[in-house]
Amino acid sequence: MTLLVSVVVAIVFGSGCYLLLKGDLFRVVAGTVLISNAAVLTLVGAGFTRGAAPIRPFPPGSEVSDPLVQALALTALIIGFGVTALLLTLAARVYASSRTVDLDQLSQIEATREDELEEAEA
Amino acid sequence: MTLDRRTVPTEAPEARTSEAGSATSDRTGRTAESGAAADGHPPARPDGPFPPAAALAATLAALAFAATLYAWLRGGGSIDLPWAPTLGLRLHFRLDALGALYALLATGIGAVVFLYSGRYLRLHLSHQGRPARDERSFYAFMLLFTVSMVGLATAQDLLLLFVFWDLTAIASYFLIGFDRHEAASWSGALMALLVTGITAVLLLVGSVMLFVAYGTFSLPEIIAEARPGPALTVAAALIALAGLAKSAQVPFHFWLPNAMAAPTPVSAYLHSAAMVAAGVLLIGRTYPLLQESELVLDGMLVVGLASMLAGGLIALTRERLKQVLAYSTVAQYGYMVALYGLGGAAGAAGGAFVVAAHALAKSALFMVSGAVTRASGGEERLGRLGGRWRTMPVVAGAGALAAAALAGLPLTAGFFKDELLFKAALEHGPVVTALVAAGPVLTLAYIGRFWGRIFLGSPKEAPTGPRSLATTLVAPIAVLALISLVFGLWTAPLESLAAEAGSVSLGGEPAGLSVAYHLDARATNLIALGVYTLGGLLLATYPRWLPVAQAFALVALRFGPERAYVSSLRQANRLSSALHRFEVRDLRRRVAAVLVPCGVLVTAGFLATPTLGQYEVGPLDGRDAPLAIVLALAAAAALAAMAPRSQLVLVLVLSSAGYSLAAVFALLGAPDVALVAVLVETLFALLFVAVFSLLPGGVLDREQSLSVPPSRRWRDPLIAVVSGLFALAVVWGTLSSPVPRGPRISERLIELAPAAHAQDVVTAILSDFRGLDTLAEATVLLIALAGVGGALSRARSS
């Protein structure tokens, strides 16, 4: 079980990293979604006990799942959602202003603008 | 000479180096009418009532002077309050003789300079078309400087010293950069801040070394326990270096001529009596430690002599009034450093005496240069002045007194400053004496040239400034010059104060200092006579020697330490630009700049923990089959997310990964997490679809086909596989670590949940036990969503 969870975390994390390296902003955002999912799964998997939901009354005789990691996982989920939502809309804004989400093109545009600014100053 | 109005501070080195070389020291010239924006406020008027801010500052400084004097005459005193007791830090101030000397200088000369500033600053501001309210920050920082100096003079704790040390640097930064529209002004300010600020770190390092060795930052305690040795030598050398840089000694001297971009009252205060004096104060304060090492003393002697000679020679060649005085300051502080380096009672007490004698004379001379410049419509080149004694006889007279004091002529306090130097040098043989005597010779020549070129001869141009100078511009000069004269005739007060200050520097040993005129053929008198003769000859024939001095100045400026400063600043700029280009311009590199160090840190932690090698597969039985299936689904969906070209498919695949994980959470006994995950995934899906609806179809497809250069075709999957394996190792190792024995926080939380009136323990944790965290988290979320809303609405409108 431990190994299985670890492998799934690794796969989700690796896929996220792959998307993070892609050339366009939306795949980068998708990559961060996957990576934060991997983090949440790690957190929940790190509970010391596994069993029934930690909601009273507990079913007799069975162990209760670790509530602490669940609280932490909830926090991570929510913050991850906020950050990713912001990233996504920023990507949309970048597209709206530059008509591309390709990172290479974007950095070229940025470099051109910077040079123009420097020239304007000089 | 003109200077561009640059607006971007990072271009300072370029602005400076473009003129490095012979023009270096003359760069501080005004750019008249360079048009500081008045911001809608009317420019200051040169006339009108005396500015109340100046009156207030002068009164405060005068009161502080009176209080210090009273306290000192009543036998001093000390304040000792706990500061950070666990670190052994105390707010320990003591008004001993050394502290009193510098505190009296800082407050006394401060009061006089504030009086002078009132009218001067109005003239200065009106000349530049700036509003009168600009002067507020001037007085605020001048007062901050005074307070810092008094704190520095009386502090008995090394860290406290460091704090005041840096406060003086900060105040000086703003004061030198007061003409903030001029490039020379803020590049000079930056240079002063960098040179004195970076060397201040040496003071901190030395202090920490002493703390490590003696377990305290308290100077009296360290001095009581100090034993000579390599550690003490290194610490003392570091502290001495900080002091030398602050006192503008070779090779750190170059910041001072560049700081002449400051308004003249700043120079009259900081660059004669306060800022540069702080360095010598530090040396005097830590002298019991410094004199444990012959090496440090010899080093100080060499630096002092070098500053004396180099400063004197360059001062002889300078054309601008304040530049002459700046190099003169370098040379004069060379006297003091050399005296401390010569050591013994004569050196320690002599150093203290020279500080006071020099401060009085130099402050007056700076104010002379300011008054002359103001009365000549901003002219500050010696070659364009001349014959000014006719229009300003009082300034000429007071200036003559101050110049005589600086040159060490009899009947002024300056005479004894030279005599003490000779006396200390005679104990070290003829070579040192000859070298030391060269300083006053040069002083006599350059200060004679300075005074003569301003006041004697015939005027080169008709004065364009105001016909008569305001009393408050002239009186302060006269006051300081007269005090120099009084202390030259009535030597007792300064003599006893300097002797006691020297005794503090010697760690309590009495430092005899006899200051009196002797009309006999003793050695010091003979040397003084020789100095006057040689100096007079040099002054009379200096045009003949000028090429030599000019060649020296040219070489010193072109190949001196200033060049190293400028080029290192430029290199730092270049490095920063290169880093910027490498890291900031490309998102992937920016991400890598965060992730790679993180990976390295995690690896280090991972290798350091003993869980390594404790991997366990974990039990897996038939009941876990549904869990295994949804986990596999999640993994499959994550893998699938790498492939799609269509926006909608990408969203669907991502969502299915998210929903599968929600199912995993449900099966792991975490219904709360599962519910929230479902909610979040749904919102995500909607948000993705909403955003993609704003884009034309096929954007992702196009990007996908566009942006895979062949070099990256194999690199990206490789990095992905490596990071996946890395995650596997770390997560597996973490999850395999055994359950610790003993009570766990989760059990306690489960027990406590009913007390929070909650059936659901997770809810109780979030809303009660960690309620504040949740509140902050909700705030973060709200801010993020506000950003989302704003960005989306604007994206649609564009």
B39, B312, B314 from B539: Cα distances, Å: 49, 13, 14
- How confident is the model at residue B9, as a pLDDT? 39
Condensed to tens digits (0 to 9), the pLDDT of residues B464-482 reads 555 677 888 899 999 999 9
- How confident is the model at residue B30, as a pLDDT? 39
Residue contact B699–A95, C-beta within 8 A: yes
Using the predicted structure, report yes or no on whether residue B141 has a pLDDT greater than 90. yes
Under the banding of pLDDT at 50, 70 and 90, the label for residue B166 is very high
- How confident is the model at residue A120, as a pLDDT? 81
- How confident is the model at residue B17, as a pLDDT? 37
- How confident is the model at residue B236, as a pLDDT? 94
Q: Are B433 and B527 in contact (CB under 8 A)?
A: yes
Name the residue type at position B630. V
| Among B376-380, B406-410, B500-504, B570-574, the least confident range | B376-380
- How confident is the model at residue B708, as a pLDDT? 59
Q: Are B448 and B407 in contact (CB under 8 A)?
A: yes
Condensed to tens digits (0 to 9), the pLDDT of residues B66-77 reads 999 999 999 888
Residue B600, min C-alpha distance to chain A (Å): 16
Condensed to tens digits (0 to 9), the pLDDT of residues B654-713 reads 999 999 999 999 999 899 999 999 999 999 899 888 888 877 766 666 655 555 566 667
Q: Please check whether residue A87 touches B, CB under 8 A.
A: no
Domain assignments of chain A as residue spans, ordered by start: 2-121
Cis peptide before B251 (omega within 30 of 0): yes
- How confident is the model at residue B514, as a pLDDT? 75
Tell me which of B616, B623, B680 to substitute to probe the interface with A (most A C-beta atoms closer than 10 Å): B680
- How confident is the model at residue B21, as a pLDDT? 36
Condensed to tens digits (0 to 9), the pLDDT of residues B12-66 reads 333 333 333 333 333 333 343 444 444 567 777 777 788 888 999 999 999 999 9
A-B interface: how many C-beta pairs under 8 angstroms?
Answer: 291
Using the predicted structure, report yes or no on whether residue B452 has a pLDDT greater than 50. yes
Q: Mean per-residue pLDDT for B613-639?
A: 86
Its pTM stands at: 0.72
Minimal Cα distance from B587: which residue of A?
A103
A79, B268, B663 from B405: Cα distances, Å: 72, 16, 91
- By three-state DSSP, how is residue B666 classified? helix
Q: Are B272 and B329 in contact (CB under 8 A)?
A: yes
Q: Please check whether residue B718 touches A, CB under 8 A.
A: no
Q: pLDDT > 90: what percent of chain B?
A: 42
B378, B391, B666 from B371: Cα distances, Å: 10, 12, 85
- How confident is the model at residue B693, as a pLDDT? 82
Under the banding of pLDDT at 50, 70 and 90, the label for residue B5 is very low
Q: Mean per-residue pLDDT for B133-144?
A: 91
Phi and psi for B382 in degrees, rounded to 5? -55, -35
State the number of CA atoms in the 13 A half-sphere of B701 facing the CB: 8
Residue of A15, A17, A86 with shortest CB distance to B639: A15
Residue B590, min C-alpha distance to chain A (Å): 11
Condensed to tens digits (0 to 9), the pLDDT of residues B755-789 reads 988 889 999 999 999 999 999 999 999 999 898 88
Using the predicted structure, report yes or no on whether residue B414 has a pLDDT greater than 50. yes
DSSP A102: B
Condensed to tens digits (0 to 9), the pLDDT of residues B333-357 reads 999 999 999 888 888 888 899 999 9
Name the residue type at position B355. V
Name the residue type at position B652. L
Report the C-alpha gap between B361 and B350 in whole angstroms.
16
ipTM (interface predicted TM): 0.94
- How confident is the model at residue B16, as a pLDDT? 38
Q: Please check whether residue A27 touches B, CB under 8 A.
A: yes
Q: Which residues of B touch A97 (CB under 8 A)?
A: 798
- How confident is the model at residue B465, as a pLDDT? 56
- By three-state DSSP, how is residue A31 classified? helix
Give me B117's structure tokens. Answer: 């500033």
Q: Please check whether residue B677 touches A, CB under 8 A.
A: yes
Residue of A3, A30, A70 with shortest CB distance to B618: A3
Task: Choose which CATH entry (1.10.287.3510, 3.40.50.300, 3.50.50.60, 3.40.640.10) describes domain A2-121.
Answer: 1.10.287.3510
Tell me which of B762, B769, B792 to substitute to probe the interface with A (most A C-beta atoms closer than 10 Å): B762
